[in-house]
Amino acid sequence: MSSEIIYAISALFGYFIGSVPFGLILTRMAGYGDIRKIGSGNIGATNVLRTGNKTLALLTVLCDALKAGVAAFIARKVFVGDASVMASLIAGSFGVLGHNFPIWLKFKGGKGVASTFGFILMTCWPVALIALAIWLVMAFTFKYSSLSALVASACVPLISYFYAPSIEYTYVYSAIVALVIVRHHANIKRLLKGEESKIKLKKEEKSE
């Protein structure tokens, strides 16, 4: 099998796994209805947290991270030889693309933070853990999920340059985190205006 076919299969496989909208599925199963009608309308874990259900938000994070990571892992195991590394990177990156642009939701998905983390964790865990540490420091310090994601994402190319096995990882990671940053364009505008919502662990009670 040629490397071109391997890469094409990896891309399709990763995309369809990544396009499973776990945030939407889990919130509906829990009785919260359509998560797209809550908060920001996003299907990611940050918006799921706005239901006040921390367990559900955690499950969403895990599922969203796993789908891109699992795609990368399976591609690495199925395809052997010189093409396996690039197949893994392609499958994982297309898993992130599937989350961002799921075919089942008219290509309107999440922002890819958890999926990107899962993908990087599976393909180069030191880079993922350093980025996670940066996210945690930013989140606990400033209480903005979007700002934390943006700063951690912006650091990934530099981290991967020093810790990834080859420059191909840095190129792929750079493209994916660029997408994450672009997907946060509305958050960036709100941050600059001082209108961005902070992380809240409890659902706000409505005044009567």
Q: Could you report the average pLDDT of every consecutive run of 10 residues in the chain (208 residues)? A: 93 97 93 86 84 90 95 94 93 97 93 95 98 96 94 97 96 97 95 88 47
Token code pair at residue 21: 């909208």
* pTM reported for the whole predicted model: 0.90
CA gap 131, 146 in Å, rounded? 14
Residues 6+ apart with CB under 8 A from 176: 93, 96, 112, 116, 119
Residue with tokens 């989350």: 99
Contacts with 128 (C-beta within 8 Å, 6 or more apart), sequence order = 117, 120, 121
- Asked if 41 and 23 count as a contact pair (C-beta separation under 8 A), the reply is no
| Whole-angstrom distance, CA of residue 201 vs CA of residue 188 | 22
Classify residue 42 by its DSSP letter: -
Predicted pLDDT of residue 40: 77
pLDDT recorded at residue 201: 57
Among residues 143, 188, 156, 5, the alpha carbon closest in space to that of 86 is found at 5
CA atoms within 13 A on the CB side of 159: 21
Task: Give the model's pLDDT for residue 173.
Answer: 98
> What's residue 51's pLDDT?
85
Output the pLDDT for position 207: 37
Q: Spell out the residues 6+ positions from residue 104 whose beta carbon is closer than 8 angstroms to its own.
A: 19, 20, 21
The confidence score (pLDDT) of residue 27 equals 92
